[in-house]
A and B are shown apart, each in its own frame.
Chain A
Amino acid sequence: MKKRILVIEDNPMVVKSLEFKLNKDGFDVTTSPDGRDGLEKIKSESFDLILTDLMLPFISGTQIIEQAKTLAPNVPIIVLSTSNQEAIITNAFSMGVSDFMTKPFSPNELSLRVKRTLGVL
């Protein structure tokens, strides 16, 4: 059975590239254009991995991580953000995210990190 990945990202270009790349890698990808929709999906569906941005409309990525860690504590989270400030990255890791990638990102590298996090590498 295909592993399910939830991508929460508001930039349609990034969403399409991630969706395309991860689908090609054999994952089942669900996308959310904002934090509110993403959180609804986390509540109603089950995923094997969450890939989220930090700057999102309605609900921020940080709030999503907090909620996801309560609702689905065993689901690994990868953050994909434009922020490269040490404090933000440290804060994300202290909240329990598995990995942090900064934009601009390499789709191949992201694909490898996703596989490694899901243990399919």
Chain B
Amino acid sequence: MTSHILKNFTPEYFVTLFGEDSQFIKIGLIICTLFIVISLFLMVILFYARYQKNKLNKRKDKLNNLCIDFITTYLFDDQINKKRFLKRFSRILKNDFYKQIATHQILEFSNNIKGESVEDIRDLFKELNLDKFNLRQLQSHRWEKKARALFVFSELSIPIDLDEIIGLINHKRIEVRQQCLLYILKDAKNNPLEFLDRIERPLTLWQRIYIEDSLKNDYQGQIPDFSIWLEHQFESVVVFAVRMIGEFNQFENIPKLEALLNTDNVVIKKEVIRCLNKLSNEAIIPGLIQNFKNETSGVQLEILNLIENNGNYEQFLTLLTPIIKAEDKVKVTYFNMNRMHFAKESALNGDIVKFALSEEPMQMSTV
């Protein structure tokens, strides 16, 4: 049946249907032809792109291997004439692509090798004029070149003029800002966070993590007094400074942190309580209890955490009345504290917390 119907769809059938000079058929034919041509064209482009990519990868692999061989021989073979060897290799690095590959391999060596060879790697970088090449990249208008160059200088600890890069701390691309910040931190001999006074954009979470890590693991100089950034225009910088006061045990800054407790900024307030908790400051607990009912749930949770670590059962019990009006997650935390942390004291007092909270219409199924 179907084949019988299909047999009717011959070219003659369409000619009869639309007429010999039908515009409809002409347009259809043009569209079909165009579609076939475009498809073929795209396929050719696709194959060509793949071919070019494979070719480039092959070239890259070849050059990578050549660089590895060269650097290995340069570093570990004492019998070669290093000057002549270097000259020969410099001639190979004829364009930016070659120099990029060489820079990449030098970084690989620098990341995997330690000991006396590290100095040799840095010398090699300069001998091959890769420092000049990367300085040129730094001055380029393309952000990825700038970021990469900064990364290279930072990884190899190559000194560059700070005036040249300090402006990049406010670059529109975060990648450049981040690499610039890392370089400054790694290079700094003292006052590593001076750049915080110059930034025009807030610090991202990752930047804060990087700075903290760098201060803890790379920076060798004196740790700065973080309290000077407690009044910074950006909330992220203030939060970072507060956190660092806690991380580096700057007990002398406790009065300044206590003053910050009056801020209306919830994020800062939470960080201050967290920091004072870390610094085992119990003196602020009575004041915080007094104002507990007016705080947001986030701040209330921080206060509970503070009482758990530095407070006592009496202070904990004082919160029973405001807790009844708090959000469920705060009630749950309070209840769990009663059950786990103050279990002994609670049992001696007839578990009034459980009694008081069970009287509440709150949904305790989550507890």
Contacts and interface: CB of A to CB of B under 8 A. Distances in A.
A3 interface: no
Nearest to B78: A24
A16 B69 contact: yes
Interface residues of A, number: 16
The prevalent SS among residues of B at the interface is: helix
Contacts of A13: 68, 105, 108-109, 112
B220 to A, nearest CB: 18
A53 to B, nearest CB: 11
B115 A109 contact: yes
A21 B113 contact: no
Contacts of B69: 16
A79 to B, nearest CB: 15
B173 to A, nearest CB: 29
Contact of A106 (B65, B73, B105, B117): B117
Given A106-B117, A107-B117, A14 B73 contact: no
A103 B76 CA distance: 18
B112 A104 contact: yes
Interface in A1-36: 11-14, 16-17, 20-21, 24
Contacts of B359: none
Contacts of B73: 20
Contact of B115 (A11, A14, A106): A106
Contacts of B250: none
A12 B77 CA distance: 18
B72 interface: yes
B116 interface: yes
Contacts, number: 49
B111 interface: yes
Contacts of A108: 115-116
Interface string B88-129: 000000000000000001001101111111000000000000
A24 B117 CA distance: 16
B305 interface: no
A12 B64 contact: yes
Interface centre among A12, A14, A17, A108 (most CB of B within 10 A): A17
Interface string B255-290: 000000000000000000000000000000000000
Given A12-B65, A13-B68, A104 B76 contact: no
Given A16-B72, A17-B76, A20-B73, A104 B114 contact: yes
A62 to B, nearest CB: 21
Interface in B47-75: 64-65, 68-69, 72-73, 75
Chain B CB count within 10 A is highest, among A13, A16, A105, A108, for: A13
A114 to B, nearest CB: 14
A12 B68 contact: yes
A24 B318 CA distance: 75
Contacts of B65: 12
Interface in B136-193: none
B76 A24 contact: yes
A109 B75 CA distance: 15
Interface in B270-318: none
16 contacts: A13-B68, A13-B109, A16-B68, A16-B72, A17-B109, A20-B72, A20-B73, A20-B77, A21-B76, A24-B76, A103-B111, A103-B112, A104-B113, A104-B114, A107-B75, A109-B115
7 A-B pairs closest in CB distance: A106-B115, A104-B114, A13-B108, A16-B68, A20-B72, A16-B72, A13-B68
Interface of B: 64-65, 68-69, 72-73, 75-77, 105, 108-109, 111-117
Given A20-B72, A104-B111, A109-B115, 8 more contacts: A12-B65, A13-B105, A13-B108, A13-B109, A13-B112, A17-B112, A24-B77, A107-B113
